[in-house]
Chains A and B, each alone.
Chain A
Amino acid sequence: MERVPILKIGDILLVSIQVDMSDQTAVALQEDLAERIVATGCHGVIIDITALDIVDSFVGRMLSTIASISRVLDAETVVVGMRPAVAITLVELGLSLNGIRTALNVERGMELIAADREREYDEFDDSSDAEPTASP
């Protein structure tokens, strides 16, 4: 069975799917990614599907599952590079890709994840500012 490589770039895990995945390969990717998120502490996952010429219901479900798993592990998933014909087919097939964030390319996906992290830090700062200081 082929395995899809997972690259670490700073705080982000980048998965670029370059093969026509068998269902087994897709399931293995789910498990490999979960392990890498925990092992690296990365807060973002980008899945580049530029090279995929179809996304069927199995791969669609895999993308949704990866997004859910990474959210539970404190990482945000962005799917990038979907071809127009794939998008048209997905919608007609009836797949809504629930909970999946998308961006046009890897660069925009990285910006999206960075902006998210910044917002989270800001909220964290605000709430700590609001804490009353303990009086002796």
Chain B
Amino acid sequence: MTSGVDLSRPQAQTVGSDEDVVRVRQLVRTVAVAVKLSLVDQTKVVTAASELARNTLVYGGGGTVEVAAVDNGRRPGISIVFADSGPGIADLELALTDGYTTGGGLGLGLSGARRLVDEFDIQTAPGQGTRITITKWSR
């Protein structure tokens, strides 16, 4: 394989700085290409990953991102887990509203990322950190 990424197991990337967010984007791009997502779908999942990795850094105080090639028996896809042990999210519904932000951003990170992927799962509670899993299937 030319990409140099082993698709048989999840690839982990710690997120502790700005540059790590760039590395997450590159890793997600590599796997998205390998599982043959269309160019538009690659762009969507890389953009979603960029938003969520930034959240892990800015709101979660850093954490880890795991990128895996997956298969549901009919189609291949890419699955990404963003985990931090930060303060967690108290009001999830509010946090998922367009334009809501506590960090001075545009408030599109969570809500926008959710629109860009096929599956979006979030587990969080105050003081318990946040764990978000997104999946994009090839069409």
A interface vs B, CB < 8 Å?
Answer: 20-24, 53-58, 60-61, 83-86, 88-89, 92-95
Residues of B close to A88: CB separation below 8 A: 40, 43-44
Give the shortest distance, in Å, between B27 (CB) and chain A (any CB): 12
Given contacts A89-B43, A92-B115, 13 further A-B contacts (CB under 8 A): A20-B22, A54-B43, A54-B50, A55-B47, A56-B50, A57-B105, A57-B106, A57-B112, A85-B40, A85-B42, A88-B40, A88-B44, A94-B112
A53-B46 CB under 8 A given contacts A20-B26, A24-B18, A58-B105: yes
Q: Is B36 an interface residue (CB 8 A)?
A: no
Residue of B nearest to A88 (CB): B40
In the bound assembly, the distance between CA atoms of A55 and B106 in angstroms comes to: 14
Q: Is B131 an interface residue (CB 8 A)?
A: no
How many B residues touch A, CB cutoff 8 Å? 27
Give the shortest distance, in Å, between B125 (CB) and chain A (any CB): 25
Give the contacting residue for B54; candidates A23, A86, A95; CB below 8 A: A23
A-B contacts, CB under 8 A, total: 71
In the bound assembly, the distance between CA atoms of A55 and B43 in angstroms comes to: 9
B interface vs A, CB < 8 Å?
Answer: 18-19, 21-22, 25-26, 29, 39-40, 42-44, 46-47, 50-51, 54, 98, 105-106, 108-109, 111-113, 115-116
SS class, residues of chain B in contact with chain A: helix
| A-B complex: 10 closest residue pairs judged by Cβ atoms | A93-B112, A22-B18, A85-B43, A56-B50, A57-B108, A85-B40, A54-B47, A89-B43, A57-B106, A94-B108
Residue of A nearest to B111 (CB): A94
